[in-house]
């Protein structure tokens, strides 16, 4: 009879472990989301967002700033192939708000406004890793 409490304990522990998801962003079919902002909005802390090659701008339905407000990995296929362009939005391209352990990689980030701070990437009270990116 002692095995029942042990299995109940294991079930409780396994049910409480969060499983991270991988969301995909790209133009056309076969992707979870057409814009980075919509993928970020649908994500949960710990998720990874993979961004396919393309230009992500306001004419293609992107909204700026792209706000990371939870621990995420935002990974482009290559900074030469993934362009996130906020030209005309008068906003930062990516805003990070009170998030620890975020990751941004493989993107070219361009066209952001620094009028209110940031320009390319604006991090407020957080820390993470930004690598393999071009900031223009």
CATH for 19-135, among 1.10.760.10, 3.40.50.2020, 3.20.20.80, 2.160.20.10?
2.160.20.10
For the chain, the structural domain boundaries read 19-135
pTM of the model: 0.84
CB within 8 Å of 79: residues ≥ 6 apart: 106, 107, 108, 132, 133, 134
Q: What is the pLDDT of residue 32?
A: 97
Q: What is the pLDDT of residue 18?
A: 55
Cα 87 from Cα 91, distance rounded (Å): 8
Write out the chain's pLDDT in tens, 136 residues.
454 454 444 444 444 445 689 999 999 889 999 999 999 999 999 999 999 999 999 998 999 999 999 999 999 999 999 999 999 888 899 999 999 999 999 999 999 987 777 789 999 989 999 999 999 9
CB within 8 Å of 134: residues ≥ 6 apart: 79, 107, 108, 109, 110
Q: What is the pLDDT of residue 5?
A: 54
């Amino acid at each position: 009879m002692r095995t029942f409490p042990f299995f109940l304990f294991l079930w409780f522990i396994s049910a409480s472990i969060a499983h991270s998801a991988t969301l995909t962003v790209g133009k056309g079919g076969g992707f979870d989301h057409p814009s980075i902002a919509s993928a970020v909005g649908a994500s949960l802390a710990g998720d990874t967002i993979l961004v396919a090659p393309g230009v992500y701008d306001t004419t293609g339905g992107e909204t700026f700033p792209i706000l990371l407000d939870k621990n995420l990995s935002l990974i482009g296929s290559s900074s030469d192939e993934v362009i996130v362009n906020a030209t005309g939005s008068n906003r930062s391209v990516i805003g990070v708000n009170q998030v620890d352990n975020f990751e941004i990689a493989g993107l070219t980030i361009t066209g952001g406004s620094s009028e209110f701070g940031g320009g390319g990437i604006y991090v407020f009270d957080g820390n993470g890793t930004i690598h393999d990116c071009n900031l223009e």
